[in-house]
Amino acid sequence: MSVESTAGGRLKAPVRIPQKFVPVLVTAALFVAMFAAGGVRYEGFATGQIVLNVFIDNAFLLVVAVGMTFVILAGGIDLSVGSVVALSTMIAATLLKDGWPSPPVIGLVLLIGTLLGTGMGAIIHYFEIQPFIVTLGGMFLARGLSYTIGTESIPIEQPTFTAFAQTRIDLFADLWISPSVLIAAVVVAVAAYVLHYTRLGRNVYAVGGGEQSALLMGLPLARTKIAVYGISGFCSALGGVLMSFYMLSGYGMHAVGMELDAIAAVVIGGTLLTGGSGYLLGTVLGVLVLGLIQTVISFEGTLSPWWTRIVIGLLLFVFILLQRLITARRR
């Protein structure tokens, strides 16, 4: 181990950052750098409300990305999340239009999303089919079901939903958030507790680190794999409810490509695509980075919205290469 000398002649070991924390720290540094650069370039950018607006505009994506984090940590992938979000908005809008009260509508939407996720998890495990194929089928199924309900946008005019959508929670110094941000924060807190302080969370990391090793250790492989897809389905349905609040409509074209945004947020947040390593804090930072990219482009005014995809693609390449370097050094 190398040492460094201090002014008093003493020797001390240099501070070494564990490699597992490096991707999260890189994402945090990227966010701070983008925020600082935006503050220098644009007037009124470097304010607390800009950060809160990113949360307000992406609360549903954050919830969906939380579910995706569970799946990727377990070594899987879920391509159906965007379609489940759209299906959830369509079911909610249709039932509310038919006069259903909001609590049973929300409960039914969450139940359907959870059952879809659990079903895909069971197919993946018991039939030993690649998650990519099964969830791709789930993506087409959910999107198709959305169009069988209706091909046009269905407005939501139910008083509870509209009141929720128009509510703002004042904080301090003229800062405010929406109720959806509080729901997303609760989801993140509960998910972090589950991942780091429960048996299920430890099993998720173990399964992602190696299914055969987890099986030899006597861990409940089937229950864990099915559970993570059930959690992803629940989070997708909840994300659909939050999108219904945000858009006040149900539409089969909602959340097109959200599955890619969720995967990008998780990867940029430092979770290994191979599973077994990552943190929910990184996912939160990944969502913040994606939202801040959109904010910078909107402030610029002269750039096409497609630049958002270009920048996200470049960041994905960078973080995938970073993951490769870290895993190579561990070996």
Q: Where are the alpha helices (DSSP H) in the chain?
A: 22-41, 48-57, 59-73, 81-97, 102-126, 131-149, 159-166, 179-197, 199-209, 211-216, 221-247, 258-268, 280-300, 306-330
Residue 260, phi then psi, degrees to nearest 5 = -70, -35
How remote is the C-alpha of 212 from its chain's centroid?
27
| Cβ-based neighbours of 99, under 8 Å, separated by 6 or more | none
Structure tokens at 36: 């600082």
State how far the Cα of 205 lies from the Cα of 195, in Å rounded to an integer: 8
SS3 36: helix
* Helix or strand run (H / E) with residue 249: strand 249-250
Going residue by residue through the chain, which has 331 residues, state the pLDDT in tens, using 9 for 90 and above.
444 445 455 656 566 777 777 888 889 999 999 999 999 988 888 899 999 999 999 999 999 999 999 999 999 999 999 999 999 999 999 999 999 999 999 999 999 999 999 999 999 999 999 999 999 999 999 999 999 999 999 999 999 999 999 999 999 888 999 999 999 999 999 999 999 999 999 999 999 988 888 888 889 999 999 999 999 999 999 999 999 999 999 999 999 989 999 999 999 998 988 888 889 999 999 999 999 998 988 888 777 777 888 888 888 888 888 777 766 665 5
Give pLDDT, residue 11.
Answer: 54
Q: How many residues does the chain have?
A: 331
User: What global pTM score does this model have?
Assistant: 0.92
| Cβ-based neighbours of 265, under 8 Å, separated by 6 or more | 61, 62, 65, 68, 283, 286, 287, 289, 290
CB atoms within 10 A of CB 122: 16
From residue 56, alpha-carbon distances to 114, 168, 247 in Å are: 24, 10, 12
Give pLDDT, residue 3.
Answer: 45
- Cα-Cα-Cα-Cα dihedral sign, residues 276, 281, 287, 290: negative
Structure tokens at 83: 């379609």
CB atoms within 10 A of CB 103: 9
Q: Closest Cα to residue 318, out of 279, 267, 271?
A: 267
Burial class of residue 284 (count of CB atoms within 10 Å of its CB; 0-12, 13-18, 19+): buried
Q: List the domains of the chain with CATH numbers.
A: 18-330 (1.10.3470)
* Helix or strand run (H / E) with residue 175: none
Q: Closest Cα to residue 227, out of 108, 81, 119, 85?
A: 119
State how far the Cα of 71 lies from the Cα of 28, in Å rounded to an integer: 23
State how far the Cα of 223 lies from the Cα of 122, in Å rounded to an integer: 9
